[in-house]
Chains A and B, each alone.
Chain A
Amino acid sequence: MTALTADRAAPAVRRSRRNRLAAMLPAVVVGLPLILFVLFPLAHILGRSFSTPDGFGLANYAAMLGNERFLRITWNSFAVTLVSAAVAIVMAYAFAYAVQRSTMPLRNLFRMIAVLPLFAPSLVQAQGLVLLFGRNGLINRSFGLGIDLYGYWGIVIASVLYVFPYAFLILSAALAVADARIYESAEMLGASKWRAFRTVTLPATRYGLAAAIFVCFTLVITDFGNPMVIGGDYTVLASEVYNQVIGQANFEMGTVIGMVLLIPAAIAAMVEKRVSAKQYALISEHSRPLVPQKDRLRDLALLAVAVLISAAILSIVLVVVFASFVHLWPYRMTFSLRHYAFDVQNGIQPLWNSIYVSVMAAGIGVVAVTAAAYVIEKFPSPAARGLYFLSILPAAVPGMVLGLGYILAFNSPSNPVYAIYGTLVIIAIANVYYYHAHGFLISGTSIKQISGRFDEASATLGGSRRQTFAKVTLPLLFPTLVGIAVFFFMRSMVTLSAVIFLITPNTQVAAVSVLYLQDRGATNQAAAFSVCIIATIMAVLLAVRLLLNAMGHRNVSLIR
């Protein structure tokens, strides 16, 4: 174990000065786009938060932070966020463990179900919860329970479902690889299974756990969709940002809260070093991949957990699919295709635009986040911590704030980025950086598990770092890369918040069509259109699956 811990530090020792300079180059290459597409827009937002009628100053902060109401909604936010994040992490860990470390049947199907909420437009989740648990929902109608979902618990339930797939993806990447030798030693030393889990598995996934906690925390605290639909009168920080920016066109106050929401990201960046210092590489040159052994009792228990969670996720989506095929839920429950006669402008053209944007985002996203994670991990430089902060920072930014930042930063003919402003490309880029932290943390979780010894070994054999990357690291990472590309693809197909500020009459995307239908009162048509988006994504995933099979990567699952 000690030897493994030393793995990471070894290559960093005794670097010549020239090496150090050379090491800065990758940091610059990775850093520039982050500065351009994350820091620069946020700097504009920051500027707005200081702008007052009497010039530049702290008056907005004083007005907002000194308000007793602000303290109350901050408390509300924390009450929702901490509970939702904790529940989601426990559920996602169990689910990821079941998928990666057990021999239960249908593991690929369970993976697909786990990420289903990622490619269901947010309307589906909200609509599904109301149809099921609303005051006039299926459960109350069938059992006369009188459950009132709206409020604190409504937000918690919706938030858990919302962040579960993100936590699952990170934890699944963390649990995907393991060195069988450690588990064998543990067994030989007489450790119980529980003890092995506590002393081997949990510490080995420390970084993934920390990343998942951070992601769940920031996702819930920046989300205004669930509080708006299901929160009733329960106000949180994110809905206050919405009130200020959209409800009252008061950017100054909205951006003040936006800035306050960045604090968790700053804290996470500060503790990252301590967490990852304790993370040791799981795959080294001697390791043997852990192949889960059959264990009836354990597998049965995990299967039960997976079935329960899947049922919860599926029931919400399926009730919406079902409702989209009836005449008028819940008043006329006869089969009808009338909601599928879309009369939304441009028909299905936005769906093609979305596929185009999403493929682009998948391509750019994989390169961006993997490069960032790789450079930060393998090229230690004084800039590493700054890069890390920029990489995870977008997670703490509400989409609408990022979208505003993009307008403020790039809507100027003197800015080079203006060349792509108003095109689908900027929408793809906005999606990449909006989800940068999530992709980055999945990627980082995997990269950290690959021993630095490979670099050493390959250097001893006269191989360059590039060769190590191409021949060792990349193949080891390949399954994760596929998973990240799929992640960016799925999110870009349905995401709305930042996109709203970047669409033009010529760059309509499918999620906006859903919004249009919903806004004009055609909720059922909006649900039907969402069902079509879900079907499209499944079709694309199937095509990629066949392509991977044809290329001989039968064992690589689309969802890590």
Chain B
Amino acid sequence: MTDNTRSHRSLYRSLLTGLAFSTAIGLSAAHADAITVYTSYEEDEIAAFLARAKQDMPDLDVNVLRLSTGDLHARILAEASNPQHDVIWGWAVTSLIDPRIGELVEAYTPAGIDRVAEQFRDKDGKWFATTGYMAAFCVNNEVLAAKNLPMPTSWADLLKPEYKGEVVMPNPASSGTGYLMIASIIQMMGEEKGWQYLKDLDANIAQYIKSGSRPCNAASEGEFAIGASFALRAIKNVDEGYPITMVIPAEGAGNELEANALMASSRNKDAAKRFLDWTISDSAVNEYYNWKEIVTVKGGTMPEKFRKAGLPEDIASVMWNMDFAWSAENRGPVLERWQRELER
């Protein structure tokens, strides 16, 4: 019986300790010179960027939560009544333009904003984009050889009957990358021709995969010959050793910007602004160049592995000039039509 009581008491004590411990964790986030940042940058990128930030601002604790673009969108909206973060960093502009998000952020013009060309920032000052990513095909060399298929170079090439059942692309209803692809196609070909193209392409599509990066991974693993995805994933998979070629569609690559913004609810705005200023500093920009295929601020040099994977020095020459406002406004109707006419 005594044993029993003792074990109860110790259980109770360990529960209490547990509670105290976790409360302490919760409280430490509220420290004065600490900010919480929500981002969709990939985890290895964050680590490199933050190492730079720590060097430049040793007294600022930057606590980062990383979630994919869609997960983060849902999370920020759900937390809207009591936001838990100070800054949005490196998050898809198409999501940031969502008016429900617009209500949560506050206009801020960071020091040195002139370095960012006007097309890459909001005219009301609510966001500015420093980086971005663009669409690219991952083409598996071994599958091409085994099936005796030519190397595609453009969206138009993907209509060739010999690729039937060998092309995978993201489902635009579940993936932002998928949406930027069809948005860019409609923007560059026009409403009527764009939809006709998507219908023709549908005949060759093996699967609309419900993720932006998985089509490239599927092609890398040899599951399919061609996976429409984004350039960075192709570069990383080439670097990992997969027998794939990155192909940037000749018509121009659809792209998405990754933008930064200040939360209106931030309780530590000075620190948050300091961080936002830092995101366009030389130091940060140089680090972006090591990781991102699109950097909106001049400076830095492209790393060797990007060049080796086939990324041109002048990125602007292969990028389609996206109309982000159009993309955000038409997302609902475009997806609705896509689901009605093309989703299987």
Name A's B-contacting residues (CB within 8 A): 69, 130, 134-136, 150, 227-229, 232-235, 239, 242-243, 245-249, 251, 327-328, 330-332, 343-345, 356, 360, 363, 400, 404, 407-408, 411-413, 419-425, 500-501, 503-507, 516-517, 519-524
- Which residues of chain A are within 8 angstroms of B174 by Cβ–Cβ distance? 228, 239, 242-243, 246-247
B257 at interface by CB-CB < 8 Å: no
State which of B23, B79, B221, B241 has its C-beta within 8 Å of the C-beta of A411.
Answer: B79
Q: Are A422 and B223 in contact (CB under 8 A)?
A: no
State which of B18, B26, B77, B213 has its C-beta within 8 Å of the C-beta of A249.
Answer: B77
Across the two chains, which residue of chain B brings its CB closest to A44?
A: B78
**A520-B42, A521-B240 known; A247-B70 Cβ under 8 A:** yes
Q: Are B213 and A411 in contact (CB under 8 A)?
A: no
Min CB distance B332 to A, Å, is 8
- Which residues of chain B are within 8 angstroms of A228 by Cβ–Cβ distance? 174, 210-211
CB under 8 Å from chain A, chain B span 318-344: 331-332, 335, 339-340, 343-344
**A233-B344, A506-B63, A516-B43 known; A420-B78 Cβ under 8 A:** no
State which of B70, B82, B100, B237 has its C-beta within 8 Å of the C-beta of A412.
Answer: B82
Q: Are A506 and B25 in contact (CB under 8 A)?
A: yes
State which of B22, B68, B98 has its C-beta within 8 Å of the C-beta of A519.
Answer: B68
Q: Are A506 and B71 in contact (CB under 8 A)?
A: no
19 residue pairs from A and B, CB less than 8 Å apart: A130-B223, A232-B206, A242-B174, A243-B173, A247-B70, A247-B173, A328-B240, A331-B142, A345-B46, A404-B74, A404-B78, A413-B82, A420-B19, A423-B23, A425-B19, A504-B63, A506-B26, A507-B22, A516-B43
Complex alpha-carbon distance, A237 and B243, angstroms? 36
Given contacts A136-B221, A412-B81, A501-B75, 9 further A-B contacts (CB under 8 A): A134-B223, A243-B171, A249-B70, A249-B74, A421-B26, A505-B29, A516-B43, A517-B43, A521-B42
Across the two chains, which residue of chain A brings its CB closest to B36?
A: A505
Number of A-B contacts (CB under 8 A): 169
Q: Are A134 and B221 in contact (CB under 8 A)?
A: yes
Min CB distance B104 to A, Å, is 13
Q: Are A516 and B66 in contact (CB under 8 A)?
A: yes
Name B's A-contacting residues (CB within 8 A): 11, 15, 18-19, 22-23, 25-26, 28-29, 36, 42-47, 63-68, 70-71, 73-75, 77-79, 81-82, 84, 95, 98, 100, 142-143, 171, 173-175, 206-211, 213-214, 217, 221-224, 233, 236-237, 240-243, 331-332, 335, 339-340, 343-344
Complex alpha-carbon distance, A521 and B235, angstroms? 10
Complex alpha-carbon distance, A520 and B291, angstroms? 12
**A239-B210, A503-B65, A516-B66 known; A328-B242 Cβ under 8 A:** yes
Complex alpha-carbon distance, A431 and B135, angstroms? 37
Min CB distance B6 to A, Å, is 14
- Which residues of chain A are within 8 angstroms of B84 by Cβ–Cβ distance? 411, 422, 504
Complex alpha-carbon distance, A506 and B236, angstroms? 28
Min CB distance A531 to B, Å, is 18
- Which residues of chain B are within 8 angstroms of A136 by Cβ–Cβ distance? 143, 221-223
Across the two chains, which residue of chain A brings its CB closest to B50?
A: A345
Complex alpha-carbon distance, A506 and B25, angstroms? 7
Complex alpha-carbon distance, A543 and B196, angstroms? 63
Across the two chains, which residue of chain A brings its CB closest to B63?
A: A505
Query: Which of A345, A411, A505 has the most chain B CB atoms closer than 10 A to its own CB?
Result: A505
Min CB distance B325 to A, Å, is 17
- Which residues of chain B are within 8 angstroms of A248 by Cβ–Cβ distance? 173, 331-332, 335
- Which residues of chain B are within 8 angstroms of A521 by Cβ–Cβ distance? 42, 213, 217, 233, 236-237, 240
Complex alpha-carbon distance, A516 and B171, angstroms? 21
State which of B23, B26, B78 has its C-beta within 8 Å of the C-beta of A501.
Answer: B78
- Which residues of chain B are within 8 angstroms of A423 by Cβ–Cβ distance? 22-23, 25-26
Min CB distance A313 to B, Å, is 22
Complex alpha-carbon distance, A505 and B86, angstroms? 13
Query: Which of B67, B70, B78, B81 has the most chain A CB atoms closer than 10 A to its own CB?
Result: B78
Complex alpha-carbon distance, A63 and B210, angstroms? 23
Complex alpha-carbon distance, A500 and B15, angstroms? 24
Across the two chains, which residue of chain A brings its CB closest to B78?
A: A407
State which of B44, B81, B207 has its C-beta within 8 Å of the C-beta of A520.
Answer: B44
Min CB distance B103 to A, Å, is 14
- Which residues of chain B are within 8 angstroms of A330 by Cβ–Cβ distance? 221-222
Q: Are B43 and A519 in contact (CB under 8 A)?
A: yes
- Which residues of chain B are within 8 angstroms of A425 by Cβ–Cβ distance? 18-19, 22
Across the two chains, which residue of chain B brings its CB closest to A517?
A: B43
Complex alpha-carbon distance, A414 and B44, angstroms? 37
Q: Are B344 and A424 in contact (CB under 8 A)?
A: no
Q: Are B82 and A233 in contact (CB under 8 A)?
A: no
State which of B19, B43, B211 has its C-beta within 8 Å of the C-beta of A345.
Answer: B43
**A248-B335, A249-B70 known; A504-B78 Cβ under 8 A:** no
- Which residues of chain B are within 8 angstroms of A344 by Cβ–Cβ distance? 43
- Which residues of chain B are within 8 angstroms of A229 by Cβ–Cβ distance? 214
Across the two chains, which residue of chain B brings its CB closest to A521?
A: B236
Across the two chains, which residue of chain A brings its CB closest to B143?
A: A136
Complex alpha-carbon distance, A420 and B27, angstroms? 10
Q: Are B78 and A507 in contact (CB under 8 A)?
A: no
Closest 8 CB pairs of A and B: A505-B63, A136-B222, A247-B174, A423-B22, A246-B70, A233-B344, A520-B42, A516-B43
- Which residues of chain A are within 8 angstroms of B213 by Cβ–Cβ distance? 519, 521
Min CB distance A489 to B, Å, is 15
Complex alpha-carbon distance, A2 and B256, angstroms? 71
Complex alpha-carbon distance, A232 and B209, angstroms? 6
Across the two chains, which residue of chain A brings its CB closest to B44?
A: A520
- Which residues of chain B are within 8 angstroms of A408 by Cβ–Cβ distance? 78
Across the two chains, which residue of chain A brings its CB closest to B335?
A: A248
Min CB distance B78 to A, Å, is 4
Q: Are B43 and A506 in contact (CB under 8 A)?
A: no
State which of A251, A331, A345, A506 has its C-beta within 8 Å of the C-beta of B78.
Answer: A251
Min CB distance A515 to B, Å, is 8
Complex alpha-carbon distance, A254 and B78, angstroms? 13
Complex alpha-carbon distance, A412 and B18, angstroms? 22
- Which residues of chain B are within 8 angstroms of A246 by Cβ–Cβ distance? 68, 70-71, 73-74, 174
Query: Which of B11, B66, B213 has the most chain A CB atoms closer than 10 A to its own CB?
Result: B66
- Which residues of chain B are within 8 angstroms of A242 by Cβ–Cβ distance? 174, 210
Complex alpha-carbon distance, A228 and B173, angstroms? 13
**A500-B67, A521-B236 known; A345-B79 Cβ under 8 A:** no
Query: Which of B11, B237, B240, B331 has the most chain A CB atoms closer than 10 A to its own CB?
Result: B240
Complex alpha-carbon distance, A360 and B16, angstroms? 11
Q: Are A130 and B221 in contact (CB under 8 A)?
A: yes
**A69-B340, A248-B173 known; A331-B242 Cβ under 8 A:** yes
Q: Are A247 and B175 in contact (CB under 8 A)?
A: yes
Min CB distance B61 to A, Å, is 10
Q: Are B241 and A327 in contact (CB under 8 A)?
A: yes
- Which residues of chain A are within 8 angstroms of B70 by Cβ–Cβ distance? 246-247, 249
Q: Are A332 and B241 in contact (CB under 8 A)?
A: yes
